Chains A and B, each alone.
Chain A
Amino acid sequence: MSVMKNLTKGFFKENPVLVLALGLCPSLAVTTSIENGIGMGLAATAVLIGSSTIISFLKKFIPESIRIPIFIVIIATFVTMIDLTLQAFIPALSKSLGLFIPLIVVNCIILGRAEAYASKNSVFSSMIDALGMGIGFTIALVLISSVREFAGTGSLFGYPLFQLMGIEGFQGSIMMILPPGGFLTMGLILGFMQWNKLRKKAKEGGR
């Protein structure tokens, strides 16, 4: 597989959230604003790259029977580092992501990629895979959070679009940034992805 293909497969074709349906918990929980979505995506990407690289590097030394606990320890180390870094240098983001940063430890994308890819492939391609998957995760989060932020508060990136255009009195539907809005948005986007896939397949079959 070429490097480029390896990188871009995570964007849409094998998008961790939208196609593989991994890491749904953070995708539902933090996507109340685009800013949070991007922050979570980047933090998870950093952890993913770090842990995938190290795990791929150590794959020969990790005994088969205790690989999972070792993966978890490595992932947890990176997550704690990211958590401390955010607290020390980007406190605003650390405050809004709060509890969800420590929870990256149990984000199944990271363990999933460690188990399915990094423990079987070379260091370089694991890094590329992690980067691609991380970007894919970020894309999914941004997609979901922009729908939710726009519908829920009428703003994008914290800018109230309607007020900026001079339309007064717009009230967002708060439900969209509450949990039900997360499920609705996620469901609709997943549905759309599936529909698109089936449509493409039908086209190809008809040819």
Chain B
Amino acid sequence: MGNIFKLSAILFLVGGIAAGMLAFYNSFTKPEIEKLKAATEAEARQYVLKGLFPEDKMDALIYDADSLEIGGKKEIFWKVRESEQERNYKAFVFLSKGQGFSGVVETMVGTDANFRINTVKVLKHTETPGLGAESQTIRYGEEEPYFETRFKGDDPLIVIVEKDDNDEFDNVESLTGATITTRAVCSSINKYAAAVKEKLSAPPVIYVDPENIISVEEILKKHKEEEAAKAEAEKSGGAE
């Protein structure tokens, strides 16, 4: 009987030491992994916006993160403006996720201000090599994956696989032997784009610049002045 306790104690000890070592190791790989993840994400965002902004402004773009809710889960998307002074959003970026053939396919999508797809980028997938994995393949002598170019200029709300054809929709030629992957990308883009669009058309939150708050009296005073100026202008106009 005592043997069981001894064995359990040894196993417990080994497990404890292993867990301690891993915790220690994790403590210095974790920041690296997170740094890398943030860098990849930033790079992907720039990639999908390529061509929408002047080359020299790409590094200084302001990404305002906003969140949306899909299937009970909170997801982030970005509204992009050129500089701190610029108030109008010139582009939107979102990360759509959909179930592919053997796992979730994550696609970063960049759209212009009119909500047309600029570029998509398949970020993460576990699809079959040679079929669904072709979504990331860059052909020899080409600069970008050929699959991504099939989305350019389409309306993200209605991209659809060419096979499931319908005249009202923007068609995307499917990857050879990987219709399911293509469908996953298309339908996830549809779903997330709809959510983004809904969020964008919601009444905007009024922006208050804390440095330029004007008191009500000031506004009234300004208004009165304007009225007076207007009346004067009318008066002088009438005299003529």
Residues of chain A touching chain B, judged by Cβ–Cβ distance below 8 Å, are 32-33, 61-63, 65-66, 69-70, 73-74, 76-77, 80-81, 84-85, 87-89, 91, 95, 98-99, 152-153, 155, 160, 163, 174, 177-178
**Complex contacts, B140 vs chain A, CB 8 Å:** 155, 160, 163
Give B63 Cβ to nearest chain A Cβ, in Å. 22
Q: Is the interface of B mostly helix, strand, loop or mixed?
A: helix
B113 an interface residue at 8 Å Cβ cutoff? no
B213 an interface residue at 8 Å Cβ cutoff? no
B51 an interface residue at 8 Å Cβ cutoff? no
**How many residues does chain B have at the interface if contact means C-beta atoms less than 8 Å apart?**
25
Cα A81 to Cα B36 with chains together (Å): 17
Q: Are A88 and B29 in contact, CB atoms less than 8 angstroms apart?
A: yes
Which A-B residue pairs are the 7 nearest by beta carbons? A88-B32, A32-B129, A177-B130, A84-B29, A88-B29, A77-B18, A160-B140
Give chain B interface residues in 126-141, CB to chain A under 8 Å. 126, 128-131, 140-141
Pick from A77, A163, A177: contact of B22, CB under 8 Å: A77
**Complex contacts, B124 vs chain A, CB 8 Å:** 95
Q: Are A88 and B36 in contact, CB atoms less than 8 angstroms apart?
A: yes
Query: Given A70-B14, A91-B36, do A65 and B131 touch, yes or no (CB 8 Å)?
Result: no
Q: Are B29 and A87 in contact, CB atoms less than 8 angstroms apart?
A: yes
B10, closest chain A residue (CB): A63
Give A64 Cβ to nearest chain B Cβ, in Å. 10
Q: Are A63 and B7 in contact, CB atoms less than 8 angstroms apart?
A: yes
Give chain B interface residues in 4-44, CB to chain A under 8 Å. 6-7, 10-11, 14-15, 18, 21-22, 25-26, 29, 32-33, 36, 40
B153 an interface residue at 8 Å Cβ cutoff? no
Q: Are A178 and B29 in contact, CB atoms less than 8 angstroms apart?
A: no
**Complex contacts, A98 vs chain B, CB 8 Å:** 126
Cα A155 to Cα B26 with chains together (Å): 37
**Complex contacts, A32 vs chain B, CB 8 Å:** 129-130
Residues of chain B touching chain A, judged by Cβ–Cβ distance below 8 Å, are 6-7, 10-11, 14-15, 18, 21-22, 25-26, 29, 32-33, 36, 40, 124, 126, 128-131, 140-141, 177
**Complex contacts, B40 vs chain A, CB 8 Å:** 91
A154, closest chain B residue (CB): B140
Q: Are B130 and A174 in contact, CB atoms less than 8 angstroms apart?
A: yes
A155, closest chain B residue (CB): B140
A91, closest chain B residue (CB): B36
Give A148 Cβ to nearest chain B Cβ, in Å. 10
**Complex contacts, B21 vs chain A, CB 8 Å:** 77, 81
Cα A95 to Cα B22 with chains together (Å): 21
A159, closest chain B residue (CB): B140
**Complex contacts, B29 vs chain A, CB 8 Å:** 84-85, 87-88
**Complex contacts, A81 vs chain B, CB 8 Å:** 21-22, 25
Query: Given A88-B32, A88-B36, A177-B129, do A66 and B15 touch, yes or no (CB 8 Å)?
Result: no
Query: Given A88-B36, A98-B126, do A80 and B131 touch, yes or no (CB 8 Å)?
Result: no
B128, closest chain A residue (CB): A178
B39, closest chain A residue (CB): A91
**Complex contacts, B25 vs chain A, CB 8 Å:** 80-81, 84
Q: Are B130 and A65 in contact, CB atoms less than 8 angstroms apart?
A: no
Cα A98 to Cα B36 with chains together (Å): 16
Cα A100 to Cα B130 with chains together (Å): 18
Query: Given A63-B7, A74-B18, A80-B22, do A99 and B126 touch, yes or no (CB 8 Å)?
Result: yes
Pick from A66, A74, A80, A174: contact of B10, CB under 8 Å: A66
Q: Are B11 and A178 in contact, CB atoms less than 8 angstroms apart?
A: no
Q: What are 21 of the A-B contact pairs (CB < 8 Å)?
A: A32-B129, A63-B6, A63-B10, A73-B11, A73-B14, A73-B15, A73-B18, A77-B18, A77-B22, A84-B25, A84-B26, A85-B29, A87-B29, A87-B33, A88-B32, A88-B33, A95-B124, A98-B126, A99-B126, A177-B129, A178-B129
